Structure 1
Amino acid sequence: MPNYRFPHATLAVMAKAPIPGQVKTRLIPALGAEGASRLHAALLRRTVGAMLHANLCPIQLWCSPDTDHPEFIELQVLGTVLKTQCPGDLGARMGHAARECLETARKVIIIGTDCPVLHAGFVEQAIITLTNGHDAIVGPAEDGGYYLLGLNRTADELFQSMPWGGERVLLETRRRLDNLGWRWSELAPLWDVDRPEDLQRLESVNL
């Protein structure tokens, strides 16, 4: 059993299998289907590798469409637990992961793999914030979404009928957290790689 710094937290990484034509579709015009898939795989490996190296807490890799892809198997060997995402939209899948993680952990940190500048320090800060009494913490993304959601408890309002993929996800999440009456805070904003214009910034990142 690894000697985690925060053994009562769980990091849930939402991950799609790097299948050409099914990932990073907005980058296909610039990179082609194979190139977009390779970039997705590189971001997946970089994100999970950084979190494994930090040894902060147990890591669950929530896989779509299933856990069979060789990239997932390799990350399992390195120390993640593989889970299969449930059917439904992103909100349904994130909500399911959050509920399941909180059955055995005191707090859950949910991230994706689209943010190349997300390092373990942000996850550590999120865990510490939750440990110090906050109910939730959000990592704002520059495109209007978020790259991290940390929770001590969960609520369906955070995941249902959300305009996923749009520019209002962060604003709507803030509004719903306020309506819940929870104590919550935010991390520093970061950028995702989703659109062709993001590729130039990616050149400065060592994947």
Structure 2
Amino acid sequence: MRFCLLVMAKSPVPGQVKTRLCPPLSPEEAADVAAASLLDTLDAALNTPGAVPVVALAGVVRREDVRDALAECVVIPQRGASFAERLVHAHADIARFRMPVLQIGMDTPQVTPDLLASCASFGSFGEAALGLAVDGGWWALGLRDPLRAGVLRDVPMSRADTGARTLEALHGMEVRMLPVLSDVDTVADARAVAAQVPGSRFAAALLDVVAVAR
């Protein structure tokens, strides 16, 4: 079954991404780590069976390697003042594909095509799927009808209870719970995730950051 694999992404511009890694990382180092995370995520998305990769992008892409990867995806602009609004609008924008959607971010570079395909097994669950994150948020949201993401509009994002509040917002839908993953917000998160995928761009980028080793 074909589905839309929606990636919410921010252009890896120094000072605008992964600011919680600074310090110990510099803004430039944090942007390099973010770019590696995005590239690993896009690799997984592009190799996921049945997936139509769509990237909802914020910012202007300045890196050639990121531009090349995005050229293989459908790219739409993010719209809205808050992250919750941008999520709602992105899901509404891809509703035209008339497919179920699995939405992820660029902060879980450890995802694999097999994992994403499994999470998007829409034939095995009802209306929604939710993958909680270790920090209390969530890393993946599946919806049979993308327009039902409208329930996210009033969910506070980037909080320790965002995952629980999102699950509450999905009340009334049959929700399949997905594996819990750690996303990358802090240097400790980055080290833990890199250890899971030692051969990845993300792990290599982290090893190249001198500040992390101090």
Post-superposition shift, 1:194? 0.4
2:120 corresponds, among 112, 123, 127, to: 127
> What TM-score results when the alignment is normalised by the length of structure 2?
0.85
Q: Which of 140, 155, 167 is matched with 2:160 structurally?
A: 167
Q: What are the superposed Cα offsets for residues 52-104 of structure 1, whole Å, 9 maximum, x if unpaired?
A: 12343111111102467645421133x21111111321111111111121222
Query: Who is 1:113 aligned against?
Result: 106
Instruction: Give 2:76's match in structure 1, choosing from 62, 83, 104.
Output: 83
Residue segments in structure 2 that go unaligned for 5+ positions in a row:
201-214
2:176 corresponds in structure 1 to 185
- The answer as to whether partners of 2:5 and 2:103 remain within 8 angstroms in 1 is yes
Q: Percent same amino acid among aligned pairs?
A: 27
2-structure distance, mates of 1:117, 1:191: 9
- Shift of the alpha carbon at 1:202? 3.4
> How do 1:1-207 and structure 2 match up within 5 A?
6-7=1-2, 9-66=3-60, 70-77=64-71, 79-128=72-121, 130-153=122-145, 154-155=147-148, 158-178=151-171, 181-204=172-195, 205=197, 206-207=199-200
Cα distance in 1 for residues equivalent to 2:168 and 2:114: 26
What is the identity, as a one-letter code, of the residue corresponding to 1:191?
S
Q: Distance in 1 between matches of 2:66 and 2:74?
A: 10
Q: Distance in 2 between matches of 1:112 and 1:144?
A: 15
Q: Is the 8 A contact 2:11 2:58 kept in 1?
A: yes
RMSD: 1.8
CA–CA separation in structure 2 for the residues paired with 1:55 and 1:133:
18
Q: CA deviation at 1:141?
A: 0.5
Residue by residue over 1:142-174, the C-alpha shift from the partner in whole angstroms, topping out at 9 and shown as x without a partner, is 011111101012335532122211111110011
* Structure 1 stretches lacking a partner, 5+ long: 1-5
Amino acid at match of 1:124: A
